[in-house]
């Protein structure tokens, strides 16, 4: 199942401070809704034409639950009209159980929140929010309780060790997701340049095999820089279930200098 993503809130940046994300900035960004009902319907049309799922994406820092619900209520008619297309939402962290009951009533079928990486790496790469990963996991479990399907993701290529890999796999096992996305780190899209693994087709294929072996019955999709990591092997991979299609963020933030290093 391929996935079409639509960003509902556009920021000049994000205050989350995640070092691996090019959206991270050191200032508080202004928020504004830029997607109209017509834009939303076009995204549904694209999902229908490509036999894809549609995922609505909010900025994970700054998009509070009131904003999320207001946007969803504004789009309620479009959601109802396209009920035959599976709709997911990526609104960031929310540890209020009633939120998940509300979005389920609006026709949302899935909740996404990426666990990203091991707890050790996460605390180093998201120093402003050291407890965010615990809240991510709690949010996922609350979504489960509300009867939603749950999607999460692993961001590889951050210089992870074997211990880091074991830890993120254990975290995902606790989350018990219906879908896992393997995201590949792109140094050109990072907020900071830091030691990380060099993109390697062999490593990318090994990570896919690792996830498929550990989670044989879970949907496995690829997202983010997979062309950089997998190159010519992408078309020959048979043990994945889908790809993220297109680019959903136009943030214009890229590292000016990139130094590829292998972390030892």
**Is residue 126 situated within a structural domain?**
yes
**pLDDT, one tens digit for every residue, the chain (264 residues):** 788 877 765 555 566 677 777 666 544 444 455 678 888 898 899 899 988 999 988 765 555 788 788 888 989 999 999 999 999 998 878 888 899 999 999 999 999 999 999 999 999 888 877 778 999 999 999 999 999 999 999 999 999 999 999 999 999 999 999 999 999 988 777 777 777 788 899 999 999 999 999 999 999 999 888 888 998 888 888 889 998 875 544 333 333 333 433 333
**Is residue 253 situated within a structural domain?**
no
CATH at 91: 3.20.20.70
Alpha helices, DSSP H only, in 62-105?
65-74, 76-81, 97-105
Confidence at residue 24, expressed as pLDDT on a 0 to 100 scale: 66
- Which residues span the domain enclosing 75? 2-245
Has this prediction a pTM greater than 0.75? yes
**Is residue 250 situated within a structural domain?**
no
**Is residue 252 situated within a structural domain?**
no
| SS3 (DSSP) at 2 | strand
Confidence at residue 263, expressed as pLDDT on a 0 to 100 scale: 38
Cβ–Cβ under 8 Å, residues 75 and 29: no
Domain count, the chain: 1
**Is residue 224 situated within a structural domain?**
yes
**Is residue 58 situated within a structural domain?**
yes
**Is residue 120 situated within a structural domain?**
yes
**Is residue 259 situated within a structural domain?**
no
Confidence at residue 63, expressed as pLDDT on a 0 to 100 scale: 56
What distances in angstroms separate CA 91 from CA 43, 58, 99, 254, 264, one per listed residue?
17, 5, 11, 23, 35
């Amino acid at each position: 199942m391929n996935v079409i993503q639509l960003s509902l809130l556009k920021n000049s940046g994000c205050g989350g401070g995640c070092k691996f994300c090019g959206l991270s900035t050191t200032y508080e960004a202004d928020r504004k809704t830029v997607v109209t009902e017509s834009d939303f319907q076009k995204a549904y049309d694209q999902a229908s034409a490509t036999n894809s799922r549609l995922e609505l994406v909010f900025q994970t820092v700054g998009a509070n639950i009131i904003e999320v619900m207001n946007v969803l209520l504004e789009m309620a008619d479009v959601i109802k009209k396209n009920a035959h297309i599976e709709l997911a939402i990526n609104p960031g962290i929310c540890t209020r159980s009633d939120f998940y009951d509300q979005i389920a009533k609006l026709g949302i079928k899935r909740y996404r929140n990426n666990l990203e990486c091991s707890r050790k790496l996460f605390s180093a790469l998201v120093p402003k929010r050291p407890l965010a990963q615990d809240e991510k996991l709690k949010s996922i479990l609350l979504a489960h309780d509300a009867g939603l399907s749950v999607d999460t993701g692993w961001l590889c290529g951050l210089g992870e060790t074997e211990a880091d890999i074991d830890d993120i796999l254990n975290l995902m096992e606790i989350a018990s997701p219906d879908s896992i996305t393997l995201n590949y780190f792109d140094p050109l899209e990072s907020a900071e340049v830091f030691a990380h693994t060099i993109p390697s087709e062999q490593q990318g294929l090994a990570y896919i095999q690792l996830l498929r072996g550990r989670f044989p019955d879970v949907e496995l999709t690829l997202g983010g820089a997979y062309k950089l990591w997998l190159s010519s092997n992408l078309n020959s991979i048979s043990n994945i279930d889908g790809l993220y299609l297109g680019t959903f963020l136009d943030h214009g933030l890229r590292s000016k200098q990139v130094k590829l290093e292998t972390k030892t």
